[in-house]
Amino acid sequence: METKAIHLGHAIDPHTGAIASPIYLSTTYERNADGSYPRGYSYSRTDNPNRHNLETVIAGLEGGTVAAAFSSGLAAIGAVFQALSPGDHVIAPEILYHGTTRILKDIFSPWNLQVSFVDTADKSKVKSAVRDNTKIIFVETPSNPTLSVTDIKAIAGIAHTAGAICVCDNTWATPVLQRPLELGADLVIHSTTKYFGGHSDVLGGAVVGSNDDEFFGRIRKIQQIGGAVPSPFDAWLLLRGAQTLPCRIRNHSESALKISKYLSNHPQVERVYYPGLSEHPGHEIARKQMSQFGGMLSFEVKGDKQRALEVTGKLKIIIRGTSLGGVESLIEHRASIEGPESRTPNTLLRLSVGLENVDDLIDDLSNALG
């Protein structure tokens, strides 16, 4: 994994010997006299060397055949659902990233995409939700923000029995910790903004396919015609971030496990959501399909919403901010972000554990919790 992250999508520049990849800003490319494109590139919306290299490394790390890079995670998610037809049916988790919920409810439901939101951690509920027109069973594991764990292999089996495909959002685990395609998923989605970028300075998304089949071809067409693609510099930044992904993820995970154990014994904490804890309901499944448990955790403080916000206000190292996966630790009151339809408890705080010294982070939480 470490070797692939560094070398996939990278080559020594043949003209200068540069080890770092050049940034190709050109929007257009020279044609031959006969109208052909001898170097494989015609227009930057269709393809770009930096984007091509990024797609190569993401597909390789996930163990996929093909990948399509997008300008954001939601652009990647939207492309998958846009590749369906009006009247098709999707099964999605009842608790997942609120942007996915919004894109399904606000954009694709009016377009006549049928959606059933169920607890995907309960296989019987997923089976009961299957219809004749079910085309996708979408899973997000660990889920955002309560870190529910879904058995990818089992859900992929249900999908295939129904003639549907299984799509897994692997943003939180990354291919370093979890390999959905090896467990039977057909497509993997990433918000590369998060751990692939790793420095809170670039937006991006990606879809990885186990096969370069007809359905992935539709996703590729949406990418190239719709044009929601990363800029050359964005692709370059993401490619650079991918090189350190394995070592960063393992550090994030080790620190998150220590912090979750600390919080689970704190008198001012009501509940900790982290699959690395033995009391987590999805712990055994997570142990089977993950090598570590990731850098994300959530916890509920005792009291009310105001008390939760007070805790965030007392932190000195951990930053109040949306997003995750960067080198700095971020915390947020998740229900405030999700809006009035949120099902997230008002006392829940979501923590993206960064790369700071873990003891410093624990001291910061201790001082804030009192």
The catalytic position among 97, 195, 273, 274 is 97
Q: Is 195 a known active-site residue? A: no
Q: Strand order of the sheet with strand 187-190?
A: 66-70, 205-209, 187-190, 165-169, 134-140, 89-93, 114-118
The catalytic position among 169, 186, 234, 364 is 169
The catalytic position among 4, 37, 41, 45 is 45
Q: Is 47 a known active-site residue? A: no
The catalytic position among 194, 220, 240, 334 is 194
Q: Is 45 a known active-site residue? A: yes
Q: Is 194 a known active-site residue? A: yes
Residues designated catalytic: 45, 97, 169, 194
